Structure 1
Amino acid sequence: MLSSDGFIKNNINKFATFYRLVDVAIIQLSLFISISLYNITFSKDLFLLSLIAIIGFSFFAEMFALYRSWRDGFFKEIIFNATLSWTVAFSLILIYIFFSQASLEYSRVVIAIWFVLTCFLLFAWRLGFGLFLRKIRRKGLNTRSVAIIGVTKEGQRLAKQILEHPETGFRLKAVFDDREESRLPEVFHGDLQGKVSDGVERARLNEFDVVYIALPLTAEKRITEILHSLGNTTVNVQLVPNLFMYSMMSASMAQIGDIQTISVYCNPMRGTYALIKRIEDVVLSSIILTIIAIPLMIIAVAVKVTSKGPVIFKQDRYGLNGKSIKVWKFRSMTVTENTDVVTQATKNDARITPLGAFLRRTSLDELPQFINVLQGRMSVVGPRPHAVAHNEQYRKAVDYYMLRHKIKPGITGWAQINGWRGETDTIEKMEMRIKYDLDYIRRWSLWFDVKIVFYTIFRSFTDKNAY
């Protein structure tokens, strides 16, 4: 009988205690190296700083799940979270120094060296240890034998990832399915070693470390039967639900009393992530607006003298959670449509002014939207906002269309740098744009945003889809 008080947790790293001790040692060692370079004696004041640093780093490291298993990937995220944990913890040190009015007692150079050296060592030892683990896993050490039950699309994707990434330490030993081999995808030919009952029996004999059940969630009864059978084994059992692959943006747990729930459609930018995203937006938009202040004035004057109408065109679009916002653009057309019917711009559109054509082709018409970002209505990077009329049209035709509004719209996005910008004259084009938008939401990270901004700068002036 299954227990009703289970709880879903992060994948725990069996070396987590060792990692914590190494991190604490690095923070302390870096401080000793920093003060020794300037012949400073370790005092009780420096001890207090190191204590604040260690407690702060340990707290934020747990908050960012820094000590989860590396075996399952996400190495870049772990490096990022380690750096972020140390940066936030170090800010506590700076705050303490400032408010304690003890800044004159500490060498600013020593404090700076401590910060940089700790960052470097936190990164270096993880990289070195990660490379060491990859090396020994490729040689067959520190590995886990894996079996897959169910030759579904998810099972195929899982098998492909295991086979293509031996550095994870997973080794695919067998595949089990109740269908005949001749009816299975070719990728599994030779791996199929029997029916599901055979896989359960071999799990009882401890031939596998992990068994993945890759059956559709609609097969609830069958999954329950398999779980019941595997309950008499010591194998680690994991589910690969197909629902999570495309329709769910970010999985997180919630709890009401003794009942756990899984959030499927929710805003992934919550808590610390929302704060990081907002800081990124404020910093980037402030810097960019400072740089483009003069070009903004020149463009504004040019728009005013070359055609009749307002300089700034404000259009109703959907923002976070589908709430209406005013998106600013330099007017590039002879019309300012903002009604229930909005005609998309097309190639050689007669409504586009000569100056407007240049502004749209180079994306300069979007520059006022950095003011929207500073206002908090938009983000620098995110799904591009569509006119309300287009939203109402496509939400009925494209699956999961409105999920793109679970985060703030952006000036540039993952879809745009992959070529899905401009006119969407077919449902297929909009489907591809939505596919990239939802992929961005699932994969979001600060470094991912930096990558998109970098590509946007170099592609804006050569984008053939902008008109």
Structure 2
Amino acid sequence: MKAKTGRYSGYIRPFSRILDLIIINFLAAYFSGIPVFQDFYALFISCAWFIIAANLGFYEVYRYTKVIAILNCTLKQAVAFTTCCLALAYFYPERFSLSTILLFTTESVVLVLGFKLFIYFFLRKYRIIFGGNFRTVVLVGKEKSTNPLQHFFEENPDYGYKLIKVFDLESHKSEFLNESLSFILDNKIDEIYCSVTDLSSKQLEDFIFFADNNLKTLKFIPNQKQLLSLNSVFEYYDYIPVISQRTISLDESLHKIIKRVFDIFFSTIIILGILSWLTPVLAIIIKLDSKGSLFFVQKRNGLNNKEFNCFKFRSMEINELADIEQVSKNDSRITRVGKFIRKTSMDELPQFFNVLLGDMSVVGPRPHMVSHTNMYAERIDKFMVRHFIKPGITGLAQTKGFRGEVETDNDIINRVRYDIFYIEKWSLLLDFKIIFSTIYNTVKGDKKAY
């Protein structure tokens, strides 16, 4: 339940809709080839825009919404809206031209997106400078559970959350529930965040009952294991509700096609533009530096845990531990040339052949050697979920600092966490963001690239 805070937040979406309506119809009138004042055309494009927006959740932008999510939704909105506008060309063949429609829809979407991002970033600055448009919150749970969210609220005032109090269950006894509920009412708190693992079923029920009857927003803080399964959805078999554990974005046929087309296009550019001349150069340098082949081929686990041959430029001396022991910092097996190509990630470039062959994707969870896959599958919860999609040359976990050597279980746990987020929330724009972040990190230098 969304509480009414009385801070004008409720006016933002109606204002955005009216502004978008003005932009679309003004531009339609501006382009003389579009019969905006004839045959209810203005009504048609307005209805089309808002019907598409309602289905895509175009106006569902919250203070915690990421910019990448806004851009991704805008791209879908633009494609669907352009398709609707082009469909009208059938009824006005003598007046419409493809260029006119494309120019109209492009300018409309760009202006709408510009104002949308302006409002988004203006509110973030407004919250910092003037302290307005905020929600008051309390946290309920043990220190270990609430600490991350407490730090987030304190360090990110631009999100507009003002932390009023933390009810620490380690220092409170049975009376804490009544005390916390009274405090929430007396101080007109907007949102309550409860740690699921620290409260009993009865206490959770009491908080739910209290929130529903006092118009308070109640949210739950999951533990690490629950966090990896948050993408559960309800499906209905007739009137019977069934919970599906997670949705995988790339299970949709259209998404698979889009990602595969991008993979082929991108890998072809790299192979023809870089590997065509870099491979013979490195062949000479690697051969002069140490004995052995140019390429290092290793079995890795891919889609549905099937094994495939992963290609890399050889960066180590030939050794018997290559398929068992992971490379560590200052590893004596790494050659002089190998240090350079590993530091610059050039050793990974032959994997674009794997992408072209369909074994890998440009972006996805990084594949592990077979022996390590078997080891982590036994030790790390949900590790095998990574194999629901093709592995990638780079991935979200790698851009967040979890690449290379796994020094502690915490490294692989966080890698799995980011990989599962990527699997469930994939979009083409997210792929672009990861690719640009990877290039930036490579140029800047990654401390774990060894």
Normalising by the smaller structure, the TM-score range is 0.7 to 0.9
Tell me which amino acid in the other structure corresponds to 1:285: S
Tell me the amino acid that sits aligned with residue 345 of structure 2.
S
Q: What residue number does 1:190 align with?
A: none
Please name the residue that 2:163 is paired with. 172
- CA drift of 1:86 comes to 0.9
Matched, 1:29 2:8: no
Do residues 120 (structure 1) and 110 (structure 2) align? yes
CA distance in 2, matches of 1:311, 1:79: 42
Aligned equivalents of 1:173, 1:367: Cα separation in 2:
51
Cα displacement (A) at 1:373: 1.9
How much has 1:376 moved relative to structure 2?
3.4
The 8 Å contact of residues 253 and 260 in structure 1, kept in 2 or not, is answered as: no
Tell me, yes or no, if structure 1 residue 413 matches structure 2 residue 413: no
Mark the CA change 1:51 to 1:298 in structure 2 (over 3 Å): closer, same or farther: farther
Structure 1 residues 199, 85: CA separation in 2 closer, same or farther (over 3 Å shift)? same
In the superposition, the TM-score normalised over structure 2's length comes to 0.75
Change (3 A) 1:280 1:153: farther
Mapped to 2, the partners of 1:358 and 1:103 lie a distance apart of: 62
Change (3 A) 1:364 1:103: farther
Q: What code does the residue aligned with 2:116 have?
A: R
Q: What is the RMSD of the two structures over their aligned residues, measured on CA atoms?
A: 4.5
Return the alpha-carbon distance in structure 1 between the equivalents of residues 141 and 29 of structure 2. 55
CA contact (8 A) 1:152 1:214 kept: no
Specify which of 134, 157, 169 is matched with residue 148 of structure 2. 157
State the 1:320 CA deviation. Answer: 2.7
The worse-fitting range, judged by mean Cα deviation, of 171-180 and 66-75 is: 171-180
Deviation at 1:105, TM superposition (A): 4.8
- Show CA shifts across 1:140-176 (max 9, x none): 5544333333344343333333333444443333444
Task: Give 1:117's aligned amino acid.
Answer: E
Partners of 1:75 and 1:304 lie apart in 2 by 43
Distance 2:339 2:149 in 1: 47
Cα deviations by residue, 1:63-83 (Å, 9 ceiling, x for unpaired): 442222423332442244223
- 1:391 offset after TM fit, Å? 1.0
**Structure-2 change in CA distance of 1:68 and 1:107 (3 Å):** closer
Q: Structure 1 residues 333 and 144 mapped into 2: Cα distance closer, same or farther (>3 Å)?
A: closer
Amino acid at match of 2:208: L
Alignment partner of 2:303 out of 314, 320, 323: 320
Q: CA deviation at 1:370?
A: 1.4
* CA distance 1:294–1:215, shift in 2 (3 Å): closer
User: What SS class does the counterpart of residue 396 from structure 1 fall into?
Assistant: helix
Q: Does 1:81 align with 2:73?
A: yes
Distance 1:124 1:415, change over 3 A: closer
Aligned to 2:414: 435
Cα 1:410–1:238 change in 2 (3 A) is: same
Any unmatched runs of 5+ in structure 2?
2-8
Structure 1 counterpart of 2:234? 254
1:325–1:58 Cα change, 3 Å: farther
Partner residue in 2 for 1:211:
192
Q: Can you give the 5+ residue segments of structure 1 that lack an aligned partner in the other structure? A: 1-5, 7-11, 184-193
Q: How does 1:312-351 map to 2 (within 5 A)?
A: 313-330=296-313, 342-345=324-327, 347=330, 349=332
Alignment of 1:353-364 (within 5 A): 359-364=341-346
- 1:223-372 matches, cutoff 5 A: 223-243=204-224, 246-248=227-229, 251-257=231-237, 258=239, 260=241, 263-264=244-245, 267-271=248-252, 277-295=259-277, 298=280, 302=284, 313-330=296-313, 342-345=324-327, 347=330, 349=332, 359-372=341-354
Q: Deviations over 1:341-387 (max 9, x none)?
A: 6344565555x677666654543332232132234332212222111
The change in CA–CA distance for 1:180 and 1:415 in structure 2 (over 3 A counts) is: closer
What TM-score, normalized by structure 1, do the two folds share? Answer: 0.73
Counterpart-to-counterpart distance in 1, 2:84 and 2:142: 51
User: Judging changes above 3 Å, is the alpha-carbon distance between structure 1 residues 264 and 294 closer, same or farther for their aligned structure 2 residues?
Assistant: same
Quote the offset at 1:286 in angstroms.
3.0
Aligned equivalents of 2:118, 2:71: Cα separation in 1: 12
Higher mean displacement: 203-212 or 302-311:
302-311
Distance in structure 1 (CA, Å) of the matches to 2:41 and 2:353: 40
Q: 2:365 corresponds to which residue?
A: 383
Match of 1:129 among 119, 141, 161: 119
Q: C-alpha distance in 1, partners of 2:59/2:308?
A: 40
Residues 57 and 374 (structure 1), Cα distance of their counterparts in 2 relative to 1, 3 Å cut: farther
Question: SS state of the match for residue 216, structure 1?
Answer: helix
Number of corresponding residues: 433
Q: In the TM superposition, what is the alpha-carbon distance from 1:121 to its structure 2 partner? A: 1.0
1:149·1:215 contact (CA, 8 Å) conserved in 2?
no
Change (3 A) 1:27 1:330: same
| Identity across the alignment (%) | 30
